Structure 1
C-alpha cells in the first residue's frame, strides 16, 4: 500500500485538478491549448494548429522551420487534447488514440527504443482508451478511461514509479501500480504528481537539488506514489520548476490558495521575497480562474477576467500601482480586456480572452508570439489566427 509522505518537492509546469466530488473538473476553456518552451499548440473545432519553434519537428508539419503565425497541422479534425514540452508534443484524438511527434532523447514520446524523433504525428501503441496526457522535458504521464495511470521517459533512479529498468528510460507507456481511481496527472522534470478521485494528492520521483520544501531528510527518490499530507480537498495546483527549484500554488475546494517553494522576487505574492519552506496561505486575488508561474513572476486571471501579477515582471509592462514593475504582493496589470486564461512559455506569455482570441507578448526569436512578425513585443499583440 502507498504510504503518506508529508513533505516533497513538486516539479510541474502545468495544472493538476480534481473537483470536490472527485471528478476531473479542472478550470477549462472552450479552446484547448498547450504551450511548450518556444511553441504553441491549440485545437479549434477539432483541427490542430501550431506556431513557433519547429526545429525538432515539434509542430508535426513534416519539415523543420520557424512558424511565425498559426498553421494547421494535418487535415484531421478529430483532435481532443494536446500537451507540449521543450522539443516534442503529444495529443489524443476523439477515438482515444494517443499520438506523439518531435524529438525526445529520454523517449518521453513513448514511441519505443528505436524512435526518438519524428517530424509528423505517430500513434503511440494501439490502445484506444486514452483520456488525458501530460508531458515534460524528460517524461510523460497519461490516464486511461478506466482510471489507470501510465508513464514513460526518463527512469533514472526508478523515478517514474515502475521500478528499476535495465536502461535509464521507459520506452513505451507502462502502468504504475494497480489503482484505477486516478483522475488527473501531470508530468514534470524527474517528477509526477497526480490526484485521485477522493481529492488526495500524490507524488513520486526525484526531489532535485532544492531543500526548500520542508524536511531536508526526505527521500531523494520516491519510487512509488506517495500521498502528500492527509488532506483530501485539493482542487488544482499550479507549479513552475527551474533547475530543481520549484514554486507551487495549490488551491483547495474552498478557494483558499496555498504556496511554497521558490519565492524569487516575491513571485508567489506573500508580501516578502523569502522562500517558503512549508505550505502557507497566500493572499491571491480570488477566485483564481487561471495562473501561470515563471522564473521571477506570476500572473493570475481572476474570475472577473482581470489580470494580476506578483514578482519582477517583464520590461515595459506597466502595472496599475505607481507605474512599478515589481511587487511582492499581487497587484493589477495594466492590460485591458476580459481574460479567460494565461499560459507561460520561455520568456513569453499567451493570454486567452473571453471571446476565444489569443494575445501574446515577450520574446519572439522563434516565432512563439504567433503574430506574423519576427520582432519581440512587450505589449500584448493579437495572434494572427487563420
Structure 2
C-alpha cells in the first residue's frame, strides 16, 4: 500500500537476520520510529504485517504488537491514539499464531484456531455482524475455531479454514468476496467453488486471489486493470466468483494481491506478475498493463516468497 512502508519492513527483516544480538539503530529521520524501537527493544519477532498506515508484529512469544496510525483503533490497544512505538494488542500478549493488517483494520489467528479483528469496520470488515469500529479485538462471527490463516484487504477480509475452505466478508462492491454478489457482508460467507482445496489466500485493494492445493491460481473481484489475470480488463472485467489465472493452472506456490496488480511465486522459484504496470510494478522492463501473467525479469528462479504492495 505504501512502498516506503514496505521497504522499511524489509529493512527490519534483513537486520533481524543479520544479527543474533539486538541490533543498534542510529537516529535517522527517514527511519520509522516504531521500527527503530522494535529493533532496539530486543523483542524477538517472527512476522510483520503492514497496513495502510500502521504496522503489526507477531513476537516469537506469540504476542501481537502494533504501531502507527490509530484513528479507527487499528492498533488494538483500546484507544484511538496514534503510536510511534509498538504497543501490545489488548488481550493478545500471547497465543497468537498469525497476524494480518488491512487498510485500517487488523486481524489475528490464535493458536487455538479462533479469529479476532479490530479497527475500521465501516464495511463490516471485522466480521462481527456490525459496522462499529473496534479499538480492541472482537471475535469474527462463526470463526471462533477452525481458522488456519487470515488476509486483510483494504476494506474486506478473508480466512482459510483448517478444512481448506475460503471465507470472506466486508466490502463487496466489485465482487471481492467471491460469493456471486456485490453485496457487502458483515459476517463471513463462503467463496463460490472454494469450500475446500485452498492452500493460501491473499486479499488486495479490491480483489482476492487463492492458490489451490493442486497449485492453481484463481482470482476474483475488481479486474479493471487486469489484476485477475484472466485476460480481461476494463469496465466489464470484475468477477464475483473465482476465475482461473491464465497459464497458472498448476505450479503455483504462492500468490500476493496488491493494489491493482498481482504476483505469483512458482514452484520453480520464479516470479510472475500481472495487472497495472504504470510504475513498472510487474518487473517486466515495461510500463505496459498486462492482463495475463508475465515473467518478472531477473527473478525467474531462486525466489522463496513474493509480496505485492
TM-score range, shorter chain: 0.7 to 0.9
2:293 is the alignment partner of 1:380: yes
Q: Which residue of 2 aligns with 1:51?
A: none
Deviation string, structure 1 residues 56-115 (Cα, Å, up to 9, x no partner): 59647xxxxxxxxxxxxxxxxxxxxx66xxxxx6426233758999968xx574336xxx
Q: Which residue of 1 aligns with 2:302?
A: none
Aligned partners of 1:308, 1:57: CA distance in 2, in Å?
28
Equivalent residues in 2 for 1:163-242, closer than 5 Å? 163-164=78-79, 168-177=81-90, 179-207=93-121, 209-210=122-123, 215-216=129-130, 219-220=132-133, 222-229=134-141, 231-241=144-154
Q: Provide the secondary structure at the position in 2 that maps to 1:111.
A: helix
2:166 is the alignment partner of 1:257: yes
- Candidates 54, 66, 74, aligned match of 1:139: 54
Aligned partners of 2:220, 2:285: CA distance in 1, in Å?
30
Q: Which has the higher strand share?
A: 1
What is the CA-CA distance between 1:347 and the residue it aligns to?
1.9
Q: Is the 8 A contact 1:314 1:378 kept in 2?
A: no
Q: Which residue of 2 aligns with 1:127?
A: 42
Equivalent residues in 2 for 1:30-179, closer than 5 Å? 36-37=1-2, 39=3, 59=7, 90-91=12-13, 93-94=16-17, 95=20, 109-111=34-36, 124-156=39-71, 159-164=74-79, 168-177=81-90, 179=93
2:193 is the alignment partner of 1:284: yes
- Candidates 273, 280, 304, aligned match of 2:182: 273
Q: Provide the secondary structure at the position in 2 that maps to 1:91.
A: helix
Q: What is the TM-score with the length of structure 2 in the denominator?
A: 0.75
- Flag the 1:170–1:145 CA change in 2: closer, same or farther, 3 A: same
- Flag the 1:338–1:134 CA change in 2: closer, same or farther, 3 A: same
Aligned partners of 1:234, 1:108: CA distance in 2, in Å?
33
Aligned partners of 1:132, 1:99: CA distance in 2, in Å?
20
Q: Which has the higher helix share?
A: 2
- Candidates 226, 249, 253, aligned match of 1:340: 253
Q: Is the 8 A contact 2:156 2:169 kept in 1?
A: yes
Aligned partners of 1:250, 1:219: CA distance in 2, in Å?
20
- Flag the 1:380–1:145 CA change in 2: closer, same or farther, 3 A: same
Q: Provide the secondary structure at the position in 1 that maps to 2:138.
A: strand
What is the CA-CA distance between 1:326 and the residue it aligns to?
4.7
Q: Is the 8 A contact 1:96 1:131 kept in 2?
A: no
Where do 5+ consecutive residues of structure 2 fail to align? Answer: 300-309
Deviation string, structure 1 residues 219-257 (Cα, Å, up to 9, x no partner): 43x23333334622111123311xxxx222222212232
Count, aligned residues: 284
What is the CA-CA distance between 1:142 and the residue it aligns to?
1.0
Q: Is the 8 A contact 2:253 2:265 kept in 1?
A: yes
Q: Provide the secondary structure at the position in 2 that maps to 1:232.
A: coil
Aligned partners of 1:159, 1:357: CA distance in 2, in Å?
34
Q: Is the 8 A contact 2:63 2:95 kept in 1?
A: yes
Q: Could you say which structure has the larger radius of gyration? A: 1
Aligned partners of 2:106, 2:156: CA distance in 1, in Å?
15
Taking CA–CA contacts closer than 8 Å with sequence separation of 6 or more, which of the two structures ends up with the larger relative contact order?
1
- Flag the 1:280–1:176 CA change in 2: closer, same or farther, 3 A: closer
2:277 is the alignment partner of 1:364: yes
RMSD: 3.5
- Flag the 1:162–1:287 CA change in 2: closer, same or farther, 3 A: same
- Flag the 1:293–1:154 CA change in 2: closer, same or farther, 3 A: closer
Q: Provide the secondary structure at the position in 1 that maps to 2:101.
A: strand
